[in-house]
Amino acid sequence: MAARHRIGALLLAWYRQGHRDLPWRTTTDPYRIWVSEIMLQQTRAQAVIPYYERFLARFPTVDALAAAPLQDVLALWAGLGYYSRARNLQKAAQVIDGSFPRDYDAIRALPGIGDYTAAAIGSIAFGLPYAVLDGNVLRVVARVENDASDVGSARTRERFRAIAQQWLTPDDAGHFNQALMELGATVCLPRKPQCLLCPIAAQCRAHAEGTAAQLPVKLRKQEPVRLDGTLLVIRKGTRILLRQRAAAESRMAGFWDLPSPEDLPRTRVGAELGEIRHTITHHHYTLSVRSALAPTRVSSPFRWFDAGELDAIPLSTTARKALALAR
């Protein structure tokens, strides 16, 4: 047990010597920390930075986000993926009503916030003594404990959370959590862990046993699903025809996309302009991009857009890729 408590002190000392300069690390504003943590889910820090800065420039406060049209929120989120995050962010902003909760359970109860995000916001903004548990932390715990249990199991995750909680330095919970996440992101890497640079290598059982590269273990892996499709680039002068996704398409509801031949069955499809690839979790799409003749008339959910309007609407990533190819 004493060794576990020592881990927190070692991580804090290492973190204070230097870490990545990320814009959300210069604030204790819970709103800004919350936005960063939601954006960082399933997304690399360097990819998040420009989105984070644009988003806060447009919505600098909880009230500004709560009052904004959803289309504006989605437009600034376009390209980050996992768009339910943006919808839940605005729903939570509307629940907060200007005053961000300071209690862990109240933070946890907000739309789109789970145990990890509540612990991150609570510890960094308010010093609440809750250890975070994300993919990086799971990996660190599995290696320090040399534990080959399935990290896809809820029981294993709860046990690992309890271990991280034992490491926590309660008087500096925010910096501890940032140090733990920083270790997983920069040193305790999924492949080729940098054990010689690790501040807790002496406490790491997997390092001692030579098993670090084999951990953590996730037994239930999703098989990749490969899907084919076609996107149509239909122009009328300088305008491009787009289709707005319906509410039934929950993941992308409200976004604008290029139509497919199935959307416009009477449209004459022309030459292939090329091919794009796109991946969402374990779904791998190969999409043929083809020109097509403009239909005589269009109505909802279709609409013509000038090229200059595309940056102001929530445009799907596949549409952006296809239009870049078509240019």
Catalytic residues: 37
Tell me which residue of 231, 246, 242, 230 sits closest to 309, measured CA to CA.
242
Q: How far apart are CA 129 and CA 9, in angstroms?
A: 15
Burial class (CB in 10 A: 0-12, 13-18, 19+), 290: buried
DSSP letter string, 175-194: HHHHHHHHHHHHTS-SSS--
Which residues are CB-contacts of 21 (< 8 A; sequence separation ≥ 6)?
Answer: none
**Beta-carbon contacts of residue 17 (< 8 Å; ≥ 6 apart):** none
Buried/exposed code over 54-87 (b: 16+ C-beta within 10 A; e: otherwise): ebbeebeebeebbeeeeebbbbbbbebbebebbb
Name 240's bridge partners.
Answer: 235, 305
DSSP-derived 3-state class of residue 309: helix
Coil/strand/helix, residue 262 = coil
- Between strands 239-244 and 225-236, the pairing is antiparallel
Q: Identify the bridge partners of residue 302 per DSSP, sorted by sequence position.
A: 243
For residue 304, what is the enclosing H or E element? strand 302-306
CB distance 269 to 290 below 8 Å: yes
Structure token digits, residue 37: 């943590």
Report which residue type is found at 286. Answer: T
Contact 243, 258 (CB under 8 A): yes
